């Protein structure tokens, strides 16, 4: 369904706050609303699902198409780069381990959504960080990012 002007304003304000540096303007924005809570649950651009709502904190999380949208529009934060040995496994939905992490952005903290990238700058998956960014580079064991969308 088409959002009201208040809902559209709320969507843009939330996205601009979470993903600063990007001017969000969708051509054909649609939303899906929860029947129980009456809150926005999914944001689409046409038929492509871009973001979904995390209910415990109200953050809008990108799907794979949302991650591509962020990267195409110049978003340069929340990226974790894994080596080419781990890229096929991560792209199939497996977790990224610390020993495979090559580069991370400075602002990564646990429980934040990150974009898992290959060395070739290709989006592999969207996941949740388990370790802070500096620890991903220092540790040789353990999970760095749990993959969600691949």
**83 in the same domain as 137:** yes
Nearest to 100 by CA among 128, 132, 139: 139
Mean pLDDT across the chain, nearest whole number? 89
**52 in the same domain as 9:** yes
User: What is the span of the domain harbouring residue 87?
Assistant: 79-149
**64 in the same domain as 15:** yes
Tokens at residue 101, please?
């992490």
Instruction: Calculate Rg over the CA atoms of the chain.
Output: 16
**107 in the same domain as 68:** no
Strand ranges, E, within the chain: 29-33, 40-45, 48-53, 60-62, 79-82, 96-97, 101-104, 113-117, 123-129, 143-149
CATH number at residue 65: 3.10.450.90
**39 in the same domain as 92:** no
Residue 130's pLDDT band (cuts 50, 70, 90): very high
User: d(Cα 98, Cα 107) in Å, to the nearest integer?
Assistant: 17
Chosen domain end from 55, 72, 89: 72
pLDDT digit string (tens) for 35-89?
A: 898 888 999 988 899 999 888 888 889 999 999 999 988 888 889 999 999 999 9
**143 in the same domain as 86:** yes
**18 in the same domain as 61:** yes
Chosen domain end from 43, 72, 101: 72
Beta bridge partners of 52: 42, 61
User: What are the CA-CA distances from residue 52 to residues 39, 45, 100 (Å)?
Assistant: 11, 12, 28
Residue 135's pLDDT band (cuts 50, 70, 90): very high
Chosen domain end from 14, 46, 72: 72
CATH number at residue 100: 2.30.130.10
**68 in the same domain as 33:** yes
């Amino acid at each position: 369904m088409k959002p009201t002007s208040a809902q559209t304003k709320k969507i843009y304000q939330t996205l601009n706050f979470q993903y600063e540096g990007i001017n969000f303007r969708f051509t054909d924005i649609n939303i899906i609303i929860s029947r129980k809570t009456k809150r926005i649950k999914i944001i689409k651009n046409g038929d492509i699902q871009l973001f979904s709502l995390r209910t415990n904190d109200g953050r809008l999380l990108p799907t794979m198409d949302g991650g591509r949208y962020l990267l195409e529009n110049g978003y340069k934060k929340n990226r974790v780069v894994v080596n080419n040995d781990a890229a096929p496994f991560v792209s199939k939905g497996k977790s990224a381990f610390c020993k495979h992490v090559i580069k991370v952005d400075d602002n990564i903290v646990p429980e934040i959504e990150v974009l898992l990238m290959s060395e070739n700058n290709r989006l592999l998956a969207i996941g949740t960080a388990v370790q802070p960014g500096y620890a991903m580079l220092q540790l040789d064991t353990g999970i760095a990012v749990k993959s969600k969308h691949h």
